[in-house]
Structures are given as structure tokens and as C-alpha cells.
Amino acid sequence: MDRQAFVDLGAITGNVASLCELVRGSQVMAVVKADGYGHGMVPAARAALAGGATWLGVADLDEAVALRRAGITAPVLGLMTFGDPAEAIGHGVDVTAGSVAFVAKVEAAAGRSGVQARLHLKADTGLSRGGATPADWPGLVEAALQAQARGSVRVTGLWSHFACADIPGHPSIAAQLAVFADAVASAEKADVTPEVRHIANTAAGLTVPESRLDLVRFGGAIYGLSTLPGGAPSWLRPAMTLRARLAMVKRVPAGTGVSYGHRYVTSREATLGLVPLGYADGVPRSAAGHPLISAHGRRWPIAGTVCMDQLVVDFGDEPVATGDEVVLFGPGEDGEPTAQEWGERLGTISYEIATGIGSRVRRTYPDGARR
């Protein structure tokens, strides 16, 4: 295979088991949105459930329906309010409402599907993205309780999301916890009886014990990734290895310009290797010049501009051959780069690196696991 992303499902299962132990007393939601952070949504979901996750989280409701169609029966929460919720409600998926208007949409969808909707109310505690502000929260709670009284909706959760949990000690963390506590208290005073209250994401789940409440939403951590400074703790293992085989090898003289714009010129006679991965596959153009290719037990820089479908490595006098394997990132156990290193070098985060790997790169799994 010329290029593949190998996904170690055992790593996902082991990571989730370790996270469950860390937050013992709270349930764990494995967030498998964005095709399981690029790892494959359905295999990642199954692996996470095997590790002890009791909930799954997705972004849009089409993802939730896809999990149900794959035979997954665990509780699933749609974290965003995109699309018509009727089909998801019919499949027993919990949906989110952060506005009175969306409560009405959910109630109408529940009527069409003939199934009582399970509804989580989202509070905007300071991220200023989705959810009801403190000023709008009482109206959202009232609308949800009215729908519940009519039998079309059941309020099953209250939740929010941190803005700066991956900046340990940031004052907004405590501030958001306080705002969420007030939101929960006011909702419960109005007779909301949620099954779960949740605000902790990966960063908070790892570093802010008081945020764990009934449920922790672990996203990147289940794949061995994190946005915390320095990345995930060492006891979490990155699950994806991106590798390819050299499509061509050629010897060139000193002074040879390489790739678009000749931004790289060989300083001596050298062997160039062509890697069949480019920015259409998720390799950022900004990776040019960085030592982010591992082969023959060493690191090698990307020579010149990353193209849409390929990139070039200058191997100097190393005796490489067509078909030799190169690794772009993996767990780091053999000296290869990690997604965390890619993110740090390129001024982004490991999540962007992993989710950016395109569909042309086949995901492969141990034991023939289904995609």
C-alpha cells in the first residue's frame, strides 16, 4: 500500500480504560465527531465502548444516525444543533438545545417521529459560541419544561463547554464553573431533573478534577492526543500512524532545484525520494523544511514545497529504494514524529493534524475491524 493511516484500536480501548480510572465516579463520553478525529468514527466508537465509555458524542446529527445504523446502541449526544433532528430523535439520540427556537424545533421533530425527544440544555458560560447566555437561560429552561409537560420532550442533561481549559490556571476556568453551577441550580430549582450534568472536555477532565461532575467528554484524549501544553500525558498512547512507501528514488547532482518554486536546492549530489502524500492528504504546505519524515531509523526534512499529491525528501547518501517505508507521525516510540510534534512545529494542534488526513489515505485496522 502506497499510503495508509494505521489506527491502533487497542490503544483507543486502553486510553479509555485509563481515563475511566482517572475520573472514577464520573461517566465517560467518547467524542467521535469528525470521523473519530480522523481515525474512523465507527471503529473508534466500538473501541471506546470496549474500554468503558458509556456515552458517545458527535457534532452533527447525521453522525449520530450513522452510529445507530452501524448497530451501536449506547447513548449518543449530538453536541450541535445542525439539521433536522427528527431522524436522530427517532433513533433515540439525545439532542442539544441552546435556544428557545431550537426547543420548538425539537418538539416539532418529536411529533413527526412519534418518539419523545431526549434533550440536553446547553448553557453559554463564557465560550460565546453555542448555548444560552445567563440572561437567556431561564427562558430556555421554561420552554423545555413546557415541552416536557406536553410529553414531547424529556430534559436529560445540562451542559456547557470551556473556553480555556487547555491553559492551566486560566481565570476563566473557575469563572465558567461558577456560572455553570448557577445555571444548574436554577434549572433544578425550576424542577429540571437531569440524568447528567457535564462541562469537562479533555483538558478539563485531565487537569480540573472539580469539573468532572456526572460525565466527562473526552475527545482527543481517547486517541492519545491533547491540546494541553506538551500534549497528552505519557500514559495515553497515540492511536494513529501515518506512513507511506517511496514512489520513486533518483540521484541528482549538486545545485538541483526541488519542487515548485525551487525553494530547496541540493547542496551536494543527493538521493531524492518521492512520498505519495501532499496537502490534499492533509500534509500542510508549511511542513516544508521541517525534519518530520522518519525512515531508516533517522529523521529527514521535507525538501522544498509540499505539493497537492506528493512531497520530496532529500536522503543525501542514504541507500534508500523505491518501496521503502517512511513514517510521518506515530506514537513516537521508535523516534518517529508524533502528531503533537507536527502541531507544535507548524503552529497548530495535534487535532488539526489528525483530522486533516484526507479520505484518499486508507485507514487500516488490526484484525480486519470494520470502518
- State mean pLDDT over 216-221: 98
Cβ–Cβ < 8 Å for 59, 83:
no
How many helices and strands in the chain, by DSSP H and E?
11, 19
pLDDT for residue 370 is more than 70: no
Question: What's the pLDDT score for residue 315?
Answer: 98
| CA–CA distance, 310 with 165 (Å, rounded to integer) | 37
The C-alpha angle with vertex 281 and arms to 279 and 326, in degrees rounded to 5, equals 95
Question: What's the pLDDT score for residue 313?
Answer: 98
The pairs formed by 255-258 with CB atoms below 8 angstroms and a separation of 24 or more are 257/304, 258/303, 258/304, 258/312, 258/314
How do residues 30-40 score in pLDDT, each as one tens digit? 999 999 999 99
| CA–CA distance, 340 with 300 (Å, rounded to integer) | 17
Which of 33, 122, 351, 365 is catalytic? The answer is 33
Question: What's the pLDDT score for residue 371?
Answer: 54
Above pLDDT 90, what percent of the chain? 96
- Confidence label for 81 from pLDDT (cuts 50, 70 and 90): confident
Q: Which amino acid, residue 152? A: S
| CA–CA distance, 276 with 65 (Å, rounded to integer) | 34
Which grid cell sits at 30? 467518547
How do residues 237-288 score in pLDDT, each as one tens digit? 999 999 999 999 999 999 999 999 999 999 999 999 999 999 999 999 999 9
- In what helix (H) or strand (E) does residue 95 lie, and over which residues does it extend? strand 94-97
Above pLDDT 70, what percent of the chain? 99
- In what helix (H) or strand (E) does residue 56 lie, and over which residues does it extend? strand 55-58
Q: What letter would DSSP give residue 279?
A: G
Burial bucket for residue 324 (CB in 10 Å: 0-12, 13-18, 19+): middle
Q: What is the pTM of this model?
A: 0.96
Annotation marks residue 37 as catalytic: no
Question: In whole angstroms, how far apart are CA 90 and each of 27, 94, 183, 269, 313?
Answer: 24, 10, 29, 65, 52
Which of 37, 189, 223, 260 is catalytic? The answer is 260
The Cβ of residue 34 has, within 10 Å, a number of other Cβ atoms equal to 18
Annotation marks residue 264 as catalytic: no
| CA–CA distance, 88 with 66 (Å, rounded to integer) | 10
Cβ–Cβ < 8 Å for 83, 49:
no
Cβ–Cβ < 8 Å for 176, 125:
yes
Residue 355: closest CA among 331, 339, 336 = 339
Q: Does residue 7 sit in helix, strand or coil?
A: strand
- In what helix (H) or strand (E) does residue 154 lie, and over which residues does it extend? strand 153-159
Which grid cell sits at 75? 447513548
Dihedral, 124, 138, 75, 47 alpha carbons, nearest 10: 10
| CA–CA distance, 108 with 21 (Å, rounded to integer) | 40
pLDDT for residue 369 is more than 70: no
Question: What's the pLDDT score for residue 368?
Answer: 60
pLDDT for residue 332 is more than 80: yes
Pick from 69-73, 82-86, 315-319, 358-362: least confident: 82-86
| CA–CA distance, 227 with 270 (Å, rounded to integer) | 38
How do residues 127-153 score in pLDDT, each as one tens digit? 999 999 999 999 999 999 999 999 999
| CA–CA distance, 138 with 126 (Å, rounded to integer) | 17
| CA–CA distance, 62 with 64 (Å, rounded to integer) | 5
- State mean pLDDT over 185-190: 98
